A and B are shown apart, each in its own frame.
Chain A
Amino acid sequence: MNFASQRVAKPYFIGALALFAGQIIFGLIAGMQYLDGSFLFPAFPFSVIRTVHTNLLIVWLLMAFMGAAYYIVPEEAQTELHSPRLALLTFWVFLIAGVLTILGYLFVPYSQLAAMTGNAILPTMGRGYLEQPLPTKIGIVLVALSLLFNVTMTLAKGRKTSLNIVLVAGLWGLALLFLPAFYFPVDTVKASYSWWWVVHGWVEGDWELILSALLGFILVRMTGVDREIIEKWMYIIIAMTLISGIIGIGHHYYYTGAPEYWIWLGSIFSAMEPVPFLMLVVFAVRMLISRRHEYPNHAALLWAIGTPVMAFLGAGFWGFMITLAPVQYYTHGTNFTAAHGHLAFFGAYAMVSLSIISYAMPHLRGRMANSLRAQRWEMTGFWIMVISMFVIALALTGAGIVTVFLQRMGEHPISFMGVQYQERVFFWIREVAGFTFFSGLVAYLTSFFVGGDPVAAHGATVPRGR
């Protein structure tokens, strides 16, 4: 860490991890409600728990991205952050608004929350991931504007590296793509159509830019490979992301009332969406092979390699399984989607956030890398969480297959609840894997409190030509 103002990233990372833990707890509760519908009912119905689970995900990822931006932009620009005070103020505003919103979901009936928060003035509430009350949505825009002002001013006065430009452009895209959240037409076709501008635009477009930039930054720092080579890879990955991802939005438009041509365009282009993720894997592995020295933070290296692999599996492979229109005809709304959603969100965005946290936190705590003992805890957490999430995805895929065969095909389809009962074994597996995931998270969080002598310097230089 070269600049004092980078320290503002620390509360963002800590806040993100706390909210991550909250997200997992609510995920466990939701998973339990699949097995026992009366669990915590009527105090906390499934719809509320699910909303809290998904909203915490969005908030903690945004918080981690913001922390990453406040850490990376000054370092790349080789100058202090424009206003560390504003960044800190923004953190507290974001955290308090986020917590108040979650409390609102939990303790105020949703319709009452809508009435209390001015939803009648500008209706925006109700769509998945975008359930936030109007003041929270306005707050998100203000927080994003504050971030953009701060990082853009920093970039403007400092060194302009490609990596930094891509990261800041990605953050601008993130903010702009949130604006359709304020457009919620009564027409359900149009409402669904525009909803995907935010959700797809984020996770299958803009966030991939941010992911590439974060991974690029970590790899520049940890492998010692020339930044020109890393930036070149970043460019082609981004180009491929946009080529496949923009028109790939059509895979959300099948059979929704949108024009029929989306069935072709959505299928063809979204089928290519795994390609940039595969490129990320090739990129990360090549950079690792070409590394010039052994970086002492092995845990961060593990996260950085694990991210593209898991992102490819979750977003790429699992996404491809359900993306073609004839397949989607049968799998739509089944647990196939939940399997893809879990593995993709965790593999791509949660893991890249944990990667940058793993890289940056030791620096923010005044060391290059944590002690070997702490790293062992962190890596144990890594493997438990990765394997558990993989089991969750497999279990949900199994449930999805059962739904397709029992509810969507055959002469005598079984009712929705009848099928849910048949799938109980998969929901049990998912819940048990959820608990092991949580234990992995505990191991990961424990690593922050494990003592020992920090590993101070670069290891041996890697001989060329390997």
Chain B
Amino acid sequence: MDTETLTRADTTATQPLPGDFAIWVFIFAELTVFGILFTAYAFARESHLALFNMEQRLLDRQTALANTLLLITSSYAMVRSVLAIRADQIARCIRWLLLAMGLGCGFVVLKIREFAHDATLGITLSHNLFDMFYLSLTFFHFMHVILGLTILASVTLRALGGHYNASSHTGVESAGAYWHMVDLLWVILFALVYVIH
């Protein structure tokens, strides 16, 4: 039994999840971290409602919306790359992966610009409680986008090296699952930090 088959067996023994079982453990752990962060944010907001409402209005919602669209579109590209590899269309899979990465890089560029702008406004971790949460949440998520892009780059390289085909593509599915998590977290974060008053 080769590694890939073993990995699949590892996965299907409990539940038919796409990708690797280990990546789902990781995703669960990551969601728990963000869950705790979101819960702490909710408690802090409840006790400092006026401050949070006032500070939220100062955020750049247009850029945040653009970033949301970028990540959702990127997730769509990821879905297409998984569908392509399942149909044994390797070249198409690579093209969709590159598009997903390109859109992710767009998010990174916009976010860096936003952080730079925040710095000119004097927004720091010590400025006030809202800014502490805003910066911590968005920067922590930003680091996850970087990690997600690294994973996508690694999978793209392996795809270019001919490591995946219709019957063996756990890596692409695992990367896709992680990338969707990054997207999902941003959608919640966007609503929670930028939109809901």
A residues near B (Cβ < 8 Å) are 226, 228-229, 232-233, 236, 239-240, 243-244, 259-261, 264-265, 267-269, 271-272, 275-276, 279, 282, 286, 290, 464
Contact = CB atoms under 8 A, between A and B. Distances in A.
Given A232-B7, A240-B26, A265-B136, 18 more contacts: A229-B3, A229-B7, A229-B10, A236-B23, A261-B125, A261-B136, A264-B40, A264-B133, A267-B40, A269-B33, A271-B36, A272-B29, A272-B32, A275-B32, A276-B29, A279-B25, A282-B25, A286-B10
Nearest to A265: B136
B6 A226 contact: yes
B37 interface: yes
Contacts of A271: 36
Interface residues of B, number: 24
Given A229-B6, A236-B26, A259 B20 contact: no
Nearest to A244: B33
A228 B125 contact: no
A37 B136 CA distance: 48
A275 B27 CA distance: 12
A272 B26 CA distance: 12
Interface string B90-113: 000000000000000000000000
B47 interface: no
B120 interface: no
A275 B36 CA distance: 13
A146 B150 CA distance: 33
B51 interface: no
B-side binding surface: helix, strand, loop or mixed? helix
Contacts of A272: 29, 32-33, 36
A236 B29 CA distance: 10
A310 B3 CA distance: 30
Contacts of A259: 125-126
10 contacts: A229-B6, A232-B20, A239-B147, A259-B125, A261-B132, A264-B133, A265-B132, A268-B37, A275-B29, A279-B29
A290 B11 CA distance: 13
Contacts of A226: 3, 6
Nearest to B2: A226
A279 B26 CA distance: 9
Interface of B: 1, 3, 6-7, 10, 20, 22-23, 25-26, 29-30, 32-33, 36-37, 40, 44, 125-126, 132-133, 136, 147
Interface SS of chain A:
helix
B3 A264 contact: no
A230 B36 CA distance: 29
Contacts of A279: 25, 29
Interface centre among B7, B20, B25, B30 (most CB of A within 10 A): B25
B37 A236 contact: no
A224 B29 CA distance: 27
B25 A236 contact: yes
A228 B30 CA distance: 22
Contacts of A232: 7, 20, 22
A464 B7 CA distance: 14
Contacts of B23: 236
B20 A240 contact: no
Contacts of B7: 228-229, 232
A279 B136 CA distance: 25
A291 to B, nearest CB: 13
Contacts of B26: 236, 239-240
A331 B1 CA distance: 53
B126 A243 contact: no
A244 B26 CA distance: 12
**List of 6 A-B pairs having minimum Cβ-Cβ separation, nearest first:** A236-B26, A228-B3, A261-B125, A261-B132, A275-B29, A226-B3
Contacts of B22: 232-233, 236
A90 to B, nearest CB: 36
Contacts of A261: 125-126, 132, 136
Nearest to B174: A232
Contacts of B32: 272, 275
Given A226-B6, A229-B7, A236-B26, A260 B126 contact: yes
A243 B26 CA distance: 11
Contacts of B36: 268, 271-272
Contacts of B132: 261, 264-265
Contacts of B3: 226, 228-229
B40 A268 contact: yes
Contacts of A260: 126
A275 B35 CA distance: 14
A228 B3 CA distance: 7
Contacts of B125: 259, 261
Contacts of A236: 22-23, 25-26, 29
